[in-house]
Structure 1
Amino acid sequence: MMPEYDYHHLPHVKVQSASKKALWATLVLTLFFTFVEMIGGLVSHSLALLSDSAHMASDVIALLFSMLALFMATRPPNRKYTFGYLR
Structure 2
Amino acid sequence: MLQDKDIVNDYLNGLNASMKSYAGYITEANNPELRQKLVSLRNGDEARQLSVYQYAIQKGHYKPAQQATPQEIQQVQTELNQGS
Tell whether 2:14 aligns with 1:29: yes
Residues paired across the two proteins, number:
57
Looking at structure 2, the residues matched to 59 and 20 of structure 1 have their Cα atoms a distance apart, in angstroms, of: 16
Work out which structure has the larger RCO, using CA pairs closer than 8 Å and 6 or more positions apart in sequence: 2
Q: Stretches of 4+ moved more than 2 A in 1?
A: none
The sequence identity of aligned pairs, in percent, is 7
Contact 1:42 1:50 (8 Å CA) reproduced: no
| Runs (5+) with no aligned partner, structure 1 | 1-14, 73-87
The alignment's TM-score, normalised by the length of structure 1, stands at 0.58
The alignment's TM-score, normalised by the length of structure 2, stands at 0.59
Structure having the larger proportion of residues in helix: 2
| Partner residue of 1:66 out of 49, 52, 55 | 55
